[in-house]
Amino acid sequence: MLIFIDSANINEIEEAYNCGLIDGVTTNPTLLAKENQPVDRILKKICSIVKGPVSAEVISLDSKNMIKEAKHLSKIASNIVIKIPLTKEGLKAVRVLLKEKIKTNVTLCFSPTQAILAAKAGADYISPFIGRLDDISQNGMELIEKIKQIYNNYNFKTKIIVASVRNPLHILKAALIGADIVTVPFSVIEQLVKHPLTDVGIQRFLEDYKKIPKR
Ligand code: E4P
């Protein structure tokens, strides 16, 4: 399973990438807005740090302008993947971008049937938002199970990015289901690394080491 960081913050991305913890990045307009810098500049910087896929989202709602934006964004770096919302216009754009060999990540997916359409349109990635489903008392992880089964049934090549991840348990469950990728906020990546018994263990080893005679 690949781990992407769901962030547009250069410090977070640099830290996670330099520790070898992440394989790619997903951004969205909300994450970019927090950085208070022009979008192209941030994306260029991210792509200079991370060699794996970096998702950048279009904001147009009609396919013609989505394609125009996608072409612009894809010129920023060769590892840019275009995030397209799961709408009729979005799916239209995905088909065109497929022919243009521009990679797409279909985002804001909340149902298995939406995921079928994205795969049929030729999306490289599908991003089901599990946390936002959990937030409204629906089981986000069941959506991942269903998409995984459907994609296996028909041998769809679209990769599943488990998105809107809120805690380490989401990542564990995604891995057990066999999702291709999870995209994780920096705070949750840190939670993944940490275990109280690891800290206690280090402390105990350091204390015991002091007891060893030096000669
Ligand atoms: C995915 O690509 C999105 O950027 C992200 O996971 C959305 O998560 P949120 O529901 O925490 O905003």
**What is the rounded CA–CA span in Å between residue 34 and residue 107?**
20
**What is the rounded CA–CA span in Å between residue 155 and residue 123?**
14
Choose which residue among 6, 59, 170, 171 to substitute to test ligand 1 binding: the one with the highest number of ligand atoms within 8 A of its C-beta.
6
Q: What pLDDT is attached to residue 90?
A: 98
Q: What pLDDT is attached to residue 74?
A: 98
Of residues 83, 103, 148, 159, which has the active-site annotation? 83
- Of 156, 135, 185, 137, which Cα lies nearest the Cα of 146? 156
Bridge-based pairing of strands 24-26 and 181-184 is unpaired
- Which amino acid type is present at position 115? A
Domain spans of the chain, in order of start: 2-209
Q: Name 168's Cβ contacts closer than 8 Å, sequence gap at least 6.
A: 188, 191, 192
Taking the CA of residue 161 as reference, the ligand 1 atom at the shortest distance is 2
CATH architecture of 2-209: Alpha-Beta Barrel (3.20)
Q: What pLDDT is attached to residue 171?
A: 98
pLDDT tens per residue across span 112-152: 999 999 999 999 999 999 999 999 999 999 999 999 999 99
- Which amino acid type is present at position 2? L
Active site residue 83: yes
Tell me which DSSP letter residue 158 carries.
Answer: P
Q: Using 70 as the pLDDT threshold, list the residues of the chain that sit under it.
A: none
